[in-house]
Structure 1
Amino acid sequence: MRKRATAKQVAEAAGVSKWTVIRAFTPGASITEESKRRVLEAAEHLNYAPNLLARSLATNSTHQVAVFVDDFANPQKLPFLETLTEQLQAEGFVAMLVNINSHFDHINALLNASQRQVDAVILFGTAFRDETLNDRRLGRGTAPMFVLARDSQIDGVPAVVCDAEQALKEMVDYLYDKGYRRPGFMAGARALSTALKRRHFFTEFWRQKGVTEIVDIAADRYSAASGADTVRRYIRESDPGQRIDVLMCENDILAIGAMDELRGSYDLRIPEDLAVVGFDNYELGGAFAYGLTTYEQPKDEMVGAIVSMVTGRREPETLTFPGRLVVRKSA
């Protein structure tokens, strides 16, 4: 294999000092245009690339961001991750994906990220336990943390979220105006869904309209299979004459699983027999087979805000962004 060229070799070829080579590859560093041109030409000829690890020791910045993700069964994670990694890479940062699940110690994961000297940690999911993240073992020196797409509820850790209160008010207003009066809500695992606040506001806004009987059913995870299993259990255990007339699911993948089960196993018509709505505006929900009424999170704006905090262009703060109601044929 060809040996990697060094900064010293580039300096000799360009007729400059080694430090001039380093400045040529450091954004914002002081260097003349002529010196930079000579360095870049020599670097291209020698197929030289700067040692980012060595640079990180000098600048105390690795340009790496650890992204902690749970619940990979939820396909809505992928569009967010695509946008997040795209925007980070455009800023010269690399995302390090860390898989978090119920069997993994969050503290060790955070400490491991700190030991790798990442510049920031982005928590993207619902299973992060606030009491764990406040553990004193993290202490000083841990990379700054940010929360994406759920409330933080952790002092000093900002979150970027879709405005759940506005979203659920719009959703309930729409369903009430359509004539629905027997609502039900399907959440993910209770320990995980609390930070989303969707069930809370769904219940609150129905009660403001005088509807106090709200059926609450919980799936064990965010997946189509879990949505199907959960709605099957509800149908089996409920009196046909007393069933809900509209089911809101905490996200679209639960709604898609529920719709498949309702139509496939029980031959129920949607929305005539039971309306179904979701949240997230997952692409598959817009297909003709589903026509899912849902609520779209402002993904680009949310990711843009968190990336601007990571890069230092914006002061860290908790931000909420309005989304939009997407009306289709399922309700």
Structure 2
Amino acid sequence: MRKRATAKQVANAAGVSKWTVIRAFTEGASITDESKRKVLEAAAALNYTPNLLARSLATKSTGQIAVFVDDFANPQKLPFLETLTEQLQAVGRVAMLININHHFDHVHALLHADQRQVDAIILFGTAFRDETLTDRQLGNGTPPMFVLARDSQIEGVPAVVCDAELALREIVDHLHDKGYRRPGFMSGAPALSTALRRREYFSKFWSEKGISHIAHFAAEKYSFEAGALGIRNYLSSTSKDRIDVLMCENDILALGAMDEIRGKFGLSVPDDIAIVGFDNYELGGSSAYGLTTYEQPLREMVGVIIRMIKNEHDPETVTLPGRLVLRSST
């Protein structure tokens, strides 16, 4: 097996020091254009690439960002993960995806990430207990943490989130203007220390319009099947004064509910029950669904997280506006 070229060999070929070679491959390092040109030409001739593992020992930075995910049934996770990994790689970082489940909880994940000396941790899921942060196993050296796409109630852990208050005000105003007066809300998986607050604002803005009763039913997780089951249980037990519009906490719940309403119960959307989702999942825009929804500014949200990780933005909670997308389901 052919040995890898070393920084020392590149330095000898370029007629520079080993540290000049290191600077040539270090973002933002001080080096003249001429020296960098010599190093890159020598590196190309020797087929040299930097040993990032060895470099991390000197720089105290591995370039690895741990991403904790605990609800893979939610398909909206994929566009976020695609954007997150793309933007991390563009700035020389790489994502380490950690699956939070019954066999590998947050304490294990934090310990695992810390042992691998990740530079930061992004919490991208529904369940995170603040007491985890004070677990005696973790000590004081845990990497900085950030919450993506949900509010954070964890002291010292900032979040980057879509503005739920603005979103739900726009949604309720639209539904009220369309004449709906018997609203319902389907929430998803229960959150612990990260939340969405969509149900809270949905109720608040309907109350401001004189409608205080909001039918509420919860799904166990964010999935198509859970959305179908939630509305099935409701419609099977309610025939009088049922809701005329259903707001779902995300699009996959809404699509499951819509199929159940039309298929099992033979009702019309939106004539019998209108449907609203959240996220602007691609399938919802198809002619089969025409789902009214709210689009999160995912590229901007991920961009803020990246800047925080790079210390180019203060570590503070940031709320960004999204966009109401009107379609035939309302």
TM-score (ref. length: structure 2): 0.96
Q: Deviations over 1:41-70 (max 9, x none)?
A: 121111111111111111111111111111
Q: Which residue of 2 aligns with 1:149?
A: 149
Tell me the CA shift for residue 116 of structure 1.
0.7
CA distance in 1, matches of 2:29, 2:200: 51
CA distance in 1, matches of 2:262, 2:129: 37
Secondary structure at the aligned position of 1:133 is classed as: helix
- The answer on 1:316 being equivalent to 2:306 is no
Q: Which residue of 2 aligns with 1:159?
A: 159
Q: Which residue of 1 aligns with 2:300?
A: 301
Which residue identity is paired with 1:321?
Answer: L
List aligned pairs for 1:121-270, cutoff 5 A. Answer: 121-191=121-191, 195-239=195-239, 241-270=240-269
CA distance in 2, matches of 1:255, 1:217: 13
| Runs of 5+ unmatched residues, structure 2 | none
Q: Which residue of 2 aligns with 1:18?
A: 18
Q: Which residue of 2 aligns with 1:289?
A: 288
CA distance in 2, matches of 1:193, 1:158: 12
> Is the contact between residue 66 and residue 98 of structure 1 (CA under 8 Å) also seen in structure 2?
yes
Tell me the CA shift for residue 192 of structure 1.
5.6
Which residue identity is paired with 1:21?
Answer: V
CA distance in 1, matches of 2:172, 2:193: 19
Tell me the CA shift for residue 177 of structure 1.
1.3
> Is the contact between residue 151 and residue 194 of structure 2 (CA under 8 Å) also seen in structure 1?
no
Q: Deviations over 1:147-169 (max 9, x none)?
A: 00001111111000011111111
Q: Deviations over 1:86-144 (max 9, x none)?
A: 11111111111111124422012112111111111011111222232343543321110
Which residue identity is paired with 1:247?
Answer: L
CA distance in 2, matches of 1:185, 1:44: 59
Question: How many residues of Structure 1 are paired with residues of Structure 2 in the alignment?
Answer: 330
Tell me the CA shift for residue 194 of structure 1.
7.0
CA distance in 1, matches of 2:19, 2:176: 68
CA distance in 1, matches of 2:91, 2:130: 29
Tell me the CA shift for residue 317 of structure 1.
0.7
Q: Which residue of 1 aligns with 2:81?
A: 81
RMSD of the TM alignment (CA)?
Answer: 1.5
Secondary structure at the aligned position of 2:65 is classed as: strand
> Is the contact between residue 297 and residue 323 of structure 1 (CA under 8 Å) also seen in structure 2?
yes
Distance 1:31 1:189, change over 3 A: closer
Secondary structure at the aligned position of 1:320 is classed as: strand
> Is the contact between residue 101 and residue 127 of structure 1 (CA under 8 Å) also seen in structure 2?
no
Which residue identity is paired with 1:206?
Answer: W
| Runs of 5+ unmatched residues, structure 1 | none
Secondary structure at the aligned position of 1:61 is classed as: coil
Distance 1:192 1:264, change over 3 A: farther
TM-score (ref. length: structure 1): 0.96
> Is the contact between residue 119 and residue 144 of structure 1 (CA under 8 Å) also seen in structure 2?
yes
Tell me the CA shift for residue 29 of structure 1.
2.7
Tell me the CA shift for residue 310 of structure 1.
0.6
> Is the contact between residue 154 and residue 193 of structure 2 (CA under 8 Å) also seen in structure 1?
no
Q: Which residue of 1 aligns with 2:273?
A: 274
CA distance in 2, matches of 1:124, 1:194: 9
Q: Deviations over 1:208-247 (max 9, x none)?
A: 21112211101111000111111111111112x3211111
CA distance in 2, matches of 1:248, 1:307: 32
